[in-house]
Homo-oligomer: A and B are copies of this chain.
Amino acid sequence: MASAASDTPSRPFGLVIHGGAGNYAPPKVTPEKERAYRTKLQEALDAGYAVLDRGGPALDAVVATIRILEDSPLFNAGHGAVLNADGICELDSSIMDGSNLRAGAVAGLQHIRNPIALARAVMEKSPHVMLIGAGAERFAQENGFALVPNDYFQTEERREDLRELQEKLKNPAKAPRVSAEPANAFGSEHQYGTVGCVALDRQGNLAAGTSTGGLANKRFGRVGDAPIIGAGTYADNATCGVSCTGTGEYFIRAVAAHDVSARIAYQGKSLGEAAAATLAKIGQLGGDGGLIALDREGHVAMPFNTAGMSRGFRLSTGESRVAVFPDPK
């Protein structure tokens, strides 16, 4: 570590993560649950930070961090993902390298344990950016990924959530506020447990990644913003790295992650101003959620317009925190 750091003693490094935005508020989230979120967020942060601390690339930190969140049943990604209307987990992910704007994305996976790792393989081992469905899984097999049964992703808690949601939708009186209008098609009780990470390494390179199981009870091969480069994920050393979570449709329409970057590049905004302006635009469209962003100076932004967002950061300056509920005013 000393040798890596000695070249550029003052250059910051570190990472920021999220585990989804949504209706994270007491009493819905019990103190026990909040503790569990915070513990897992800290574990993921520390794993990514360790990669960066020993001089590893930002991409490695993003993958190491997101793998931990994917493997945890607490978040809507990998193991513990929400179930679609047919009771199957369908997973989406994307990753981007801010040093060269290379990117990889996968959507509609049913058998890949760590979608973020496959997104990276698409970026590094194919000439393509985005692969979907069974084709993406054939690519995975040809590149040494093991296929896991879909059961691996399904937890009893998520199965119960789906049963409850489908039962409510059969009974309009008990149903959450749902309609064909995008503004409220997703149900007011929805929680978004998408996970994401943006890392800045000792070399000054940014990388960003996002992974999700998408919407509970989704139909028709619906894809949200998580695997869309520019919407759910973006990274450019010249501006920032961004990962989003929330009602994905609005983040796609606002091209949210790239919009944060564009406000910095073209408008000269600070990271915090740009992130807040993009989230405000999403709110104006009727969408909710949040995003995390990090720039090369180590500035962090984690705005959200939902009741809560599980989130955290750890920087080489020593600053570090994890949180689920809003910051105290």
- A residues neighboring B (CB under 8 Å): 96, 101-103, 107-108, 125-136, 138-139, 179-182, 185-186, 219-224, 228-231, 234, 248-249, 252-255, 258-259, 262-263, 265-267, 285
Chain B residues, Cβ within 8 Å of A266: 262-263, 265-267
> What are 27 A-B pairs with beta-carbon distances under 8 A?
A101-B285, A103-B253, A107-B132, A126-B220, A127-B180, A127-B181, A127-B182, A127-B186, A129-B252, A129-B253, A130-B224, A130-B252, A131-B221, A132-B133, A132-B221, A132-B223, A135-B219, A136-B220, A139-B220, A228-B230, A229-B231, A229-B255, A230-B230, A230-B255, A234-B255, A263-B266, A266-B267
Evaluate whether A108 and B127 lie within 8 angstroms (CB atoms) in the complex, with A182-B102, A230-B252 already known: no
Assembly stoichiometry (copies): 2
Chain B residues, Cβ within 8 Å of A134: 221
A221 touches B133 (CB 8 A): yes
Q: For chain A, what secondary structure do more than half of its interface residues adopt (helix, strand, loop), or is it mixed?
A: mixed
Q: How far is the CA of A262 from the CA of B181 in the complex (A)?
A: 27
Evaluate whether A220 and B128 lie within 8 angstroms (CB atoms) in the complex, with A229-B255, A230-B231 already known: yes
Chain B residues, Cβ within 8 Å of A96: 253
For residue A285, give the distance in angstroms from its CB to the closest CB of chain B: 6
Evaluate whether A252 and B229 lie within 8 angstroms (CB atoms) in the complex, with A125-B180, A180-B127 already known: yes
For residue A85, give the distance in angstroms from its CB to the closest CB of chain B: 10
For residue A65, give the distance in angstroms from its CB to the closest CB of chain B: 23
